[in-house]
Structure 1
Amino acid sequence: MKHLTALFSLLAGIFLCAQAQHSHQHQREMAFPDIPGYLTLKCDFHIHTVFSDGSVWPDIRIQEALKDGLDAVSMTEHLEYQPHAE
């Protein structure tokens, strides 16, 4: 139980440090109007990384999404590993 508590504390600390490190200032934010009675979410549901045919690591994709002010992303990798050809 002590190990589980220590692991949880470590992960929580890493998460909090990572959150504090990112200011989440939107440098490339896209503006979309809200429809009355609805909330507009900005999402990108088709992102590839180096684990498929993309050219950057997942953490870079997340940083890009934060810069763009996105509310949600989905990394959509291919089943077969086919790295991006240069």
Structure 2
Amino acid sequence: MVAFLVFQILIKFLSHHFQRQAFQVVQAFQKLLLLQVLAFQQLLSHLLRQALHQAQRQSLRHLQPHPYQLLLDQLALFQMRGLERKAITPI
């Protein structure tokens, strides 16, 4: 996030001639940030699934959803909303 703000500040100081190139740099940086967020979400989802499976193997209580399952459900909902936004607003 800090790097993104630095890029925004640098853009303001660039001349009119270089604004187009700077905009392309910011777009590329935004895409890179989006890819990092998606990779982090996938990693978190994978780790939560592993923890959930391990906890379910160790526990005999299957009547209530495990807290890890609730986190996975929330993460999946967050990912779907992010993909919907991505489909609506091109970067």
Q: TM-score, normalised by structure 1?
A: 0.30
Structure ID, larger Rg = 2
Q: TM-score, normalised by structure 2?
A: 0.28
Q: Which has the higher helix share?
A: 2
Q: Which has the higher contact order (CA 8 A, sep 6+)?
A: 1
Q: Which has the higher strand share?
A: 1
